[in-house]
Amino acid sequence: MSLKRLGRRLTFHGLRWLSLAAARGGPSQLRHWGTRLGQMDYWLRPRLRQHLAGQLQLLAREYPNQAISSDPDGILKNAFQVNDRALLEVIALYASKRTPQYLLPDIHVQHQDKLDACLAKQSGLVMLGMHMGNGVALATRLNASHGPIHVVYRESNKVPAGFFKHGIERLGLNAINASGPGAGFREMLKALKRGHIVFILMDQGSKRSGVRVDFLKKQMHMPQGPVELARRTGAPIVPVLLTDVDEAWSFEVSDPMYFSAQEPIAEQVSQISEFMAEHILTHPQWWSWHQRRWRKLPFHPMMTGVS
């Protein structure tokens, strides 16, 4: 095991210990400790903070009328707090011996009738989430009213094997391992054909596989799996977007998107990527800018002076 991988594994175990300690106080303590963790994470990583602030300033030049053109330091500070809070909550939900009902934070979901209308057609639906807020808690809440929900995950070198699968199933959700090209696709098709919901994080692009798109001025490989599922089954893709983080995790169900197999799949993946990017630009303070899959990629060559 490399030193870098060992360091990431040790960081995970530290977060796991912290989440288990915070879980004793329930959702309010997890929220408080997670927010404080984000504050510390922000201040203790000055080089990363400066790097990301520079990237946001470059994006602000490209999108001068968007919210991202405001204070980059304030945006990043909020992003660290919101997403580290979500991270601590998710680890606690997966690993704590306390019941999920005790640990679940408050979740508000607007326009659930759109989910009802889609599921009434018995074709299932692909629910798209993003690295904004606690999507695991969202899926758990909706599973009680609109389930079964199948959560797609990828294994990570940072965590022990089986951690995601065990944690997802502990919450009453079905786990689908999508590690590797084509992995889990057949299970997703079966779930949709049964009229179920398949929940996927769309903005976790990979290094090589997928469709290459321009995402926030960076060339990034986005998974084509969600669109391929929609094309094969006729199931709609329904993005669920974070709209508030103060009193509770608040989400809004977007209008369903339908995709025909007669159109180029690359254009359809780009359409979803543009939809997500627009929401990020509207609410940049909630997106996880410090995720490695995005921040380590270079900007588009036309943005001169960027390495």
User: Within a domain: residue 25?
Assistant: yes
Please report which confidence band the pLDDT of residue 199 belongs to, taking 50, 70 and 90 as the band edges: very high
The chain-wide mean pLDDT, for the chain, equals 91
**Mean pLDDT, to the nearest integer, of 192-202?**
94
* Token pair of 108 as six digits: 């508000």
Judge whether 101 lies within some domain. Answer: yes
pLDDT computed for residue 123 by the predictor? 87
Instruction: Look up tokens 């986005």; give the residue.
Output: 222
Confidence tier at 306 by pLDDT (50, 70, 90): very low
| Rounded mean pLDDT, 19-36 | 97
Q: Is the pLDDT of residue 181 over 80?
A: no
Share of the chain above pLDDT 70, in %: 96
Q: What is the SS3 assignment for the chain?
A: CCHHHHHHHHHHHHHHHHHHHHHCCHHHHHHHHHHHHHHHHHHCCHHHHHHHHHHHHHHHHHCCCCHHHCCHHHHHHHHHHHHHHHHHHHHHHHHCCCCHHHHCCCEEEECCHHHHHHHHCCCCEEEEECCCCCHHHHHHHHHHHHCCEEEEECCCCCCCCCHHHHHHHHCCCEEEECCCCCCCHHHHHHHHHCCCEEEEECCCCECCCCEEEEECCEEEEECCHHHHHHHHHCCCEEEEEEEECCCCEEEEECCCECCCCCCCHHHHHHHHHHHHHHHHHHCHHHCCCCCHHHHCCCECCCCCCCC
Average pLDDT over residues 4-13: 83
What is the C-alpha end-to-end distance of the chain, expressed in Å? 29
The answer to whether the beta carbons of residues 107 and 86 sit under 8 Å apart is no
**Residue at 78 is within a domain:** yes
Tokens 């179920």 locate to 196
Is-above-0.85 flag for pTM?
yes
Q: How far apart are CA 193 and CA 170, in angstroms?
A: 24
- Residue 147: closest CA among 129, 167, 124, 181: 124
| Domain region containing 279 | 3-295
Asked whether residue 304 carries a pLDDT value surpassing 60, the answer given is no
In a domain, 53, yes or no: yes
Domain membership flag for residue 63: yes
Per-residue model confidence (pLDDT) at position 307: 43
**What residues contact residue 239 under an 8 Å CB cut-off, 6+ apart?**
127, 128, 129, 130, 202, 254, 257, 272, 275, 276, 279
Q: Name the least confident of 150-159, 213-222, 260-269, 296-305.
A: 296-305
Between 172 and 161, the higher pLDDT residue: 172
The predicted pLDDT at position 122 comes to 87
Please tell me the predicted confidence (pLDDT) of residue 158: 85
Reply yes or no on whether the pLDDT at 281 is more than 60: yes
CA distances from 135 to 152, 241, 249 (A): 12, 10, 9
Mean pLDDT calculated for residue range 37-48: 95
Q: Based on the structure, what is the number of domains in the chain?
A: 1
Confidence of residue 205 (pLDDT cuts 50, 70, 90): low
Of the pLDDT bands very low, low, confident and very high (cuts 50, 70, 90), residue 180 is confident
Q: Is the pLDDT of residue 30 over 50?
A: yes
Specify if 70 maps to a domain: yes
Residues facing 242 on adjacent strands? 251
Please, are residues 75 and 3 in contact by the beta-carbon 8 Å criterion?
A: no
- Which residues touch 223 (CB under 8 Å, ≥6 apart)? 200, 202, 204, 205, 206, 209, 210, 211, 269
In a domain, 305, yes or no: no
Q: Compute the half-sphere exposure of residue 208: CA atoms within 13 Å on the CB side of its CA.
A: 2
Whether 158 is covered by a domain: the verdict is: yes
Residue with the bigger pLDDT between 76 and 293: it is 76
Q: Say if residue 153's pLDDT is above 60.
A: yes
Q: What is the pLDDT of residues 69-117, one digit of tens each?
A: 889 999 999 999 999 999 999 999 999 999 999 999 999 999 999 999 9
Mean per-residue pLDDT for 169-190?
91
pLDDT the model gives residue 157: 83
User: Mean per-residue pLDDT for 172-201?
Assistant: 92
Task: Give me the mean pLDDT over the 212-236 stretch.
Answer: 92
Question: Is a pLDDT exceeding 70 seen at residue 206?
Answer: no
pLDDT at position 94, please? 97
